Structure 1
Amino acid sequence: MNVQFDFTGRHVMVFGGTTGINLGIAQAYANAGARVSVVSRKQANVDAAVATLGAGALGVVADVRDEQAVAAALEQAVERHGALDVLVSGAAGNFLAPADQMSSNAFKVVLDIDLLGSFHVARQALVHLRQPGASLIFITAPQSTVPMMYQAHVCAAKAGVDQLSRVLALEWGAKGVRVNAISPGPIEGTEGMRRLAPQGEEGDAMVRSMVPLGRMGTTDDIARLAMFLGSDAASYISGTVIACDGGAQGQLSSMITAAATGMREKT
């Protein structure tokens, strides 16, 4: 089925939108006619993304851990493209580490990026979201519901993101703002897979064997779901966390363990 979305004249802003899944989302919206703004903390990534997204795209450098920087990025985007129709909060951090070898600061860094950063984006964006009609989409992860070794920091942070999305759906529904979250499974070619999955042909085969549909996902798979949630077709969907994973989320813990085991064997 070829589903076509038209976002002509709508403003879509993607935090973390310069690489991986989030860049794929930004590209899909741009291809559907949206005015796109992307945010990243690295200037080089911002420049590369804007070059890919086209001359009409806006790129802003900001760290989601800095609430004032987030506010400034939002103001710049709204001044350029108008009120926000779709906001995607996807900035994230991750690494493999057993809890007893993880420093307090390392744990805090991931919570600050994933959870506190998500709050900063949502809180500062509210005044700029089109009311009624806006869609806020968080990018979460299966670690939010599936306990995984070497992922204590991410499990804690993403569980918080899930609950944050549900609470905001309750609080902001009366304003006409819908809030949902997407939980991607293994997505090929992403930094997450390079960090969290065993590598090489054997590693890829192992990952595919964990997915009932028999393949890894693509950034287009996530982008299409994000576009659906941002569209009028999803006008009665709010407060949900939707897995886009080929049915795999409950089985990914062993992927993480295998990746961590491989890392230990190399050191």
Structure 2
Amino acid sequence: MNNRIGKTVFVAGGTNGINLAIAEGFAQAGARVAVLSRSADKVEAAVAHLRSLGADALGHAADVRDAGAVEAALAATSQAWGPLDVLVSGAAGNFLAPGAELSANGFKTVVDIDLLGTFNVMRMAWPYLRKPGAAVLNITAAQSWLPMPLQVHVCAAKAGIDQVTRTLAMEWGEAGVRVNAIAPGPIEGTEGMRRLAATPAAHKAWVNCVPLKRFGTAADIQRAALWLCSDAASYITGVVLPVDGGVALGGGAPIAAAMQA
């Protein structure tokens, strides 16, 4: 993304971790950035942080599972700034659970946040996207194609996100709207990896599952996101891009073992 070009960006889940890093990247590039999250306190803190970077910023406290609340946030952003140039959907939930012990409610909770939430953000954003020219970016994970013990709920949700991405890339392409996704690998300092690599032994085992032998950083995802939403990627749509140090090249069983180390 070129500097200081004044694009309008909306980041669902944009108050911490990878999603906040993406919001920061767009803010530093001169975009107007709106963030959405369930926690009003986190929204307030994220908006203050983005404004400290010199960006125009808005915040909305809403749950991605509530389509009406999501639509209201998108409408308010568009009313303030006009059509959306970039839409990022990254709200997610995760925990470890064997399938035989996972409750229906636990399964549903992750699917509702990740998959239904992604659909709600995209569907409610459709009237407010710039046509032609908008870029939509979903955040998925390697679990979408790597079967991984203890993650049946996440595998199902992320696989759904990938197919929503590909399907709406086909449907929305005629309007000049691109739809892509990024599948991050293990990223240092995120809430997800604090849960999945909760001990030093688990952290070391995770690193050994990565061909590049290191965790990624939020900046790695930020750079990929800005590129994929930029004019430099204007002929790319329907892609799920792994940014994972090569994790996607291996099987899920060693990773599951790492999470239990």
TM range (shorter): over 0.9
Confirm or deny: 8 A CA contact 1:7 1:29 kept in the other structure: no
1:195 and 2:195 correspond? yes
Confirm or deny: 8 A CA contact 2:91 2:117 kept in the other structure: yes
1:21 and 2:24 correspond? no
Aligned residues: 257
Matches within 5 A, 1:9-158: 9-54=6-51, 56-158=56-158
Confirm or deny: 8 A CA contact 2:142 2:247 kept in the other structure: no
Unmatched 5+ stretches in structure 1: 263-267
Letter in 1 for 2:244: D
Q: Matches of 1:203 and 1:102 in 2, distance apart?
A: 22
Q: Offset at 1:127? A: 0.7
Letter in 2 for 1:243: P
1:247 equivalent in structure 2: 246
Q: Offset at 1:168? A: 0.2
Equivalent position SS for 1:182: strand
1:265 equivalent in structure 2: none
Deviations 1:217-236 (A, max 9, x none): 00010011110111100000
Deviations 1:39-80 (A, max 9, x none): 001111111111211162111011010000010010111112
Q: Offset at 1:252? A: 5.2
Equivalent position SS for 1:13: strand
Confirm or deny: 8 A CA contact 1:196 1:256 kept in the other structure: no
Matches within 5 A, 1:172-251: 172-200=172-200, 202-249=201-248, 250-251=250-251
Confirm or deny: 8 A CA contact 2:205 2:258 kept in the other structure: no
Letter in 2 for 1:234: A
Equivalent position SS for 1:160: helix
Q: Offset at 1:199? A: 2.2
Q: Matches of 1:237 and 1:141 in 2, distance apart?
A: 19
Aligned Cα RMSD in Å? Answer: 1.4
Confirm or deny: 8 A CA contact 1:196 1:255 kept in the other structure: no
TM-score by length of 1: 0.93
Confirm or deny: 8 A CA contact 1:188 1:218 kept in the other structure: yes
Q: Matches of 2:147 and 2:211 in 1, distance apart?
A: 20
Confirm or deny: 8 A CA contact 1:185 1:248 kept in the other structure: yes
What's the % identity of the aligned pairs? 57
- Please identify runs of 4+ aligned residues in structure 1 that moved more than 6 A: none
Q: Matches of 2:251 and 2:22 in 1, distance apart?
A: 25
TM-score by length of 2: 0.95
Unmatched 5+ stretches in structure 2: none
Q: Matches of 1:235 and 1:8 in 2, distance apart?
A: 16
Q: Offset at 1:258? A: 3.2
